Structure 1
Amino acid sequence: MLGFMMNHRTIRVGALAPLSRPGFLEAGRHIRAGVELAVTEINEAGGVDGRPLELLLRDTAGTPARAADAVRAFVDEGAVAVVGEYHSVVAHAAAGVAVEVGLPFVCSSAVLDAVVDAPTDMVARIAPAQSYCWRVYADFLVAAGYREVALVVQPDLYWSSGARVLKASLAERGVAVSVVEFDAWVVDALVADVVLLLVGYPEPAVSLVKAVRADPRLAGVRIGDPAGRVEFPEWAGLVGEAGADIPFLRYMPPELPPLGVRVAEGLAGLLGERPSFVAFEGYDAVQVVAEALRVGGLDRRGAAAGLGSPGLRVAGTRGTIGFSRDVGDVLQWAWPPVHVAA
């Protein structure tokens, strides 16, 4: 393996993950595990056309400016593509620069529909679009019999977009929906049987859960987090079962295919815990880049051509990945598995 690494010029691939505050550290750690495992396995299998991948990992800290700077740095360092990111507003910034500089971006986990400002084939996404997966969540709420839903929203590009999707989807099914902007007195405005948290994490989400649970007027209210942060052990450590009354969105099939089972074991070994869907997304994003390079060529132009190839198919951990131009402004896997999990 050492000779292989020394005698072949590496193919550099950038990766973005929130590895420090105010970013969501748990998600960043799982993205990192996924991309690192994929690179290791590809190199152990001989690389891409005999050339090993070299991972350039950058911490976005959950901030758009750091992500944008990292993408520009990847170009200077000779990267042929970039993968990753969890926060939608951060992915939006990264995607904008990626399009500007001509660096293909495989977005692993961000679901905001408007991840780019104009249609492009330079960005591919393996996470579902918010307008799709949050409608699945609305269907679940209706089927579960909830008829009064309060959305506590911390206004920004991502949460406000999610609130619009949920409000429209629930209202057309006869559910009463109230939208409450987060502030110090938000608890006084809650009248519902379900409160959904569309706010930042850990704050103000943790404080909001504690405030609701401390108010006797809201003793029967159930609390949910559509965005899937309940998936991570940190959530349980901070709020316990108090903030997980309602199932959450998880981008996994009911049962993993054989590849997913094998990768799950490797991820668990790296993480020391059960891997989240975010770890699988990171792994799959690198596999998509590798296959795009095999199809299109071993540079930035080749990666872009491979991603845009109508016949591109990638064996992913959660199913075969292929991209469509017909469901949004980016190349979109339509659709990854989506289900609502306890």
Structure 2
Amino acid sequence: MRFPFEVPFDEVARDLDPYVSAIFSSLESEFLVMPKGTGFIDYPTFEQGYEALKRATCGFLEFSPENVLRVVQETPLSLVVIRAILGLTPPEWAYLASQRTGIDVTQSFARTLDRTIRLDPLRSLPGSPKMNQRIEALIVAACQLLASPGVIEQEDKLHRFDKADTKHGLDGVRSLAALGAPYAMLLYERFLGRPFAGHRDSVSELVGDSLESAIESVLVKAGISYRKTKRAERIAGFDQAPDFIIPSEFNPQVVIEAKITEDDGTARDKVTRVQHLASLSTSRSPLEKAKFEVIACIGGRGFGVRREDMKKLILATSGKVFTAQTLGYLVEHTKLTEYRSR
């Protein structure tokens, strides 16, 4: 089975299906394994924060702002534990705190505070008066929400606090803290909330970094000059900068898009992105050659779902579609070979 980059493109264009199958066969998916990244908290560490909060509140019987503030000052990780009980994102918690206390707790503050704690979960926070005021507002809001969650069952709506531990306020939290949770209920709540969703979202950029690092290794090994762009960087001539420009943004001859996705809907968006790059590479005059060659390096099961999308990708790149398994052919079968220095 030959890949589209190994065959003259006019031959590929005559019968795309075998080449779609070839690319599908080389796609790999790593959705079961995620990078930990910086700020990852393992379970034993998280448990320390939980136990500190439980002790300070006498098993959640005395869950007052004063007691909670005291333990957060001593063990900041307790704040992350409280957020897990609430089931809120940092910006959501900040919004509710501002609403309930009248203190301006910005979303950026909440995100920064959460990340600061995750980076060093057992270190005391460097509290300024303004920071302490905002943390106290978060805690007051949490205590109010758990004391009176306001869950009203409606046939067509689901309340965010309609969970095993928070549906009945602190009584539910106390019960689970003392007795443990039924396994079926935990599995159901995981089903509703997508397991590891928060962590997966926080390291989404690192997932793509693995493919980009592999491409860099190929380019460096071949001694090819390249420009790797940064996220949301603006490059003249491109409304969205490609991931790699060879040899430079001042003379783009080859551009590489590195895309990983586990979702077929997202894959379609990424194919459209490559198609757009291909349209930019076409000169105004049909008699002129393309301005630069477009290469797609892809990964993840999302690209292996829709055959029609893969056909579009092959056509947009004139067959220059590579996966992690075929990166070893990247230089040999593209215009990159003209820039090889070793």
Q: Give the TM-score normalised by structure 1.
A: 0.27
Which of the two has higher C-alpha Rg?
2
Higher helix share: 2
Higher strand share: 1
